[in-house]
């Protein structure tokens, strides 16, 4: 694994229980790189993301994430791996019974933060990063969809992870809000973190170009950026 490589798979076979989802996955992602995962529903994008965060065990082939060997990782090591990962879901998964601040505080306390001033400072930092400095007191239902997704990104940044995994982060957002969100994700990437984004939002892929991996027929292949990706073929009909 090269010094600046943060995610690497070699001839990996990705299974869901006993079903082979992806075969012979070879993929290397470096720090600060932005990579799209594209493909139809069921093509294996989410399965690979779940393998990266050790939710799905890697049974065959090689895989390393943030220095952890996925083929040998023990259950007790998984939380340490996940401290290097920030995860952004399509369906927010915010705690609806508490404020934005309390949502973020909950995560910090759950990951071992104890000093009240340090907790407050870190929450202020990440909310400022996603341009929600004055929304900490709000309840999730008082925010727009785009604001809620920005809270999710703030939550993903709390422990200063090396990798952001974004699974359909713009799926429920309008085009303008999606564009603002993409700018934040690219800014995060430009600051040295690897960002992996699984998406169907091909307008955003066209607008914000980056390395693109296509999931199709159980294989993962890199798309040549000089060629026009056949997005229409990828869309569900």
Token pair in block for residue 208: 């914000």
Percent of the residues in the chain that have a pLDDT greater than 70, as a whole number = 93
Strands 5-16, 60-65: pairing is antiparallel
Domain of 139? 94-160
Query: Last residue of a domain, which of 145, 160, 175?
Result: 160
Token pair in block for residue 122: 């870190």
Query: Does residue 237 register a pLDDT over 50?
Result: no
The 10s digit of each residue's pLDDT in 111-129 is 889 999 999 999 999 999 9
Up-side HSE of residue 42: CA atoms within 13 Å toward CB?
A: 4
With respect to residue 234, please indicate whether it lies within any of the assigned structural domains: no
Residues 109 and 209 occupy one common structural domain: no
Query: Does residue 21 register a pLDDT over 50?
Result: yes
Residues 76 and 8 occupy one common structural domain: yes
Residues 125 and 22 occupy one common structural domain: no
The 10s digit of each residue's pLDDT in 131-171 is 999 999 999 999 999 999 999 999 999 999 999 999 999 88
Q: In the predicted model, what is the mean pLDDT of residues 44-69? A: 95
Residues 124 and 190 occupy one common structural domain: no
CATH code where residue 69 lies: 3.40.50.300
Q: What is the pTM of this model?
A: 0.90
Residues 114 and 205 occupy one common structural domain: no
Residues 15 and 77 occupy one common structural domain: yes
Question: What confidence tier does 92 reach under pLDDT thresholds 50, 70, 90?
Answer: confident
Q: In the predicted model, what is the mean pLDDT of residues 74-96? A: 88
Q: Are 136 and 129 in contact (CB under 8 A)?
A: no
Question: What confidence tier does 108 reach under pLDDT thresholds 50, 70, 90?
Answer: very high
With respect to residue 89, please indicate whether it lies within any of the assigned structural domains: no
Q: In the predicted model, what is the mean pLDDT of residues 228-234? A: 64
Query: Last residue of a domain, which of 127, 160, 193?
Result: 160
The 10s digit of each residue's pLDDT in 24-36 is 999 999 999 999 9
Residues 40 and 55 occupy one common structural domain: yes
Domain total in the chain: 2
Query: Last residue of a domain, which of 160, 191, 206?
Result: 160
Give Dmax over CA atoms of the chain in angstroms.
52
88 dihedral zone (left: phi>0; alpha: psi -120 to 50; beta): beta
Q: In the predicted model, what is the mean pLDDT of residues 178-188? A: 93
Residues 114 and 218 occupy one common structural domain: no
pLDDT value at position 139? 96
With respect to residue 107, please indicate whether it lies within any of the assigned structural domains: yes
Angle, vertex CA 200, rays to CA 167 and CA 204, nearest 5: 95
């Amino acid at each position: 694994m090269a010094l600046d490589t943060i995610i690497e798979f070699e001839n990996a076979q990705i299974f869901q229980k006993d079903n082979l989802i992806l075969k012979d996955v070879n993929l290397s992602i470096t720090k600060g790189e932005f990579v799209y995962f594209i493909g139809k529903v069921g093509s294996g994008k989410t399965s690979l993301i779940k393998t990266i965060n050790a939710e799905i065990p890697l049974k065959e082939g090689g895989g390393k994430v943030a220095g952890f060997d996925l083929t040998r990782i023990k259950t007790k090591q998984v939380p340490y791996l996940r401290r290097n990962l920030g995860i952004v879901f399509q369906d927010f998964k915010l705690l609806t019974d508490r404020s934005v601040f309390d949502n973020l505080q909950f995560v910090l306390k759950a990951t071992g933060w104890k000093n009240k001033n340090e907790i407050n400072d870190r929450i202020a930092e990440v909310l400022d990063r996603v341009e929600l400095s004055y929304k900490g007191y709000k309840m999730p239902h008082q925010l727009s969809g785009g604001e809620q997704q920005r809270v999710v990104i703030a939550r993903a940044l709390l422990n200063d992870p090396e990798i952001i995994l974004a699974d359909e982060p713009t799926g429920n957002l309008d085009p303008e809000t999606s564009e603002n969100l993409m700018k934040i994700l690219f800014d995060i990437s430009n600051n040295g973190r690897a960002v992996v984004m699984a998406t169907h939002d091909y307008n955003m892929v066209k607008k914000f170009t980056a390395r693109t991996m296509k999931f199709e027929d159980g294989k993962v292949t890199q798309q040549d950026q000089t060629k026009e990706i056949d997005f229409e073929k990828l869309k569900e009909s």
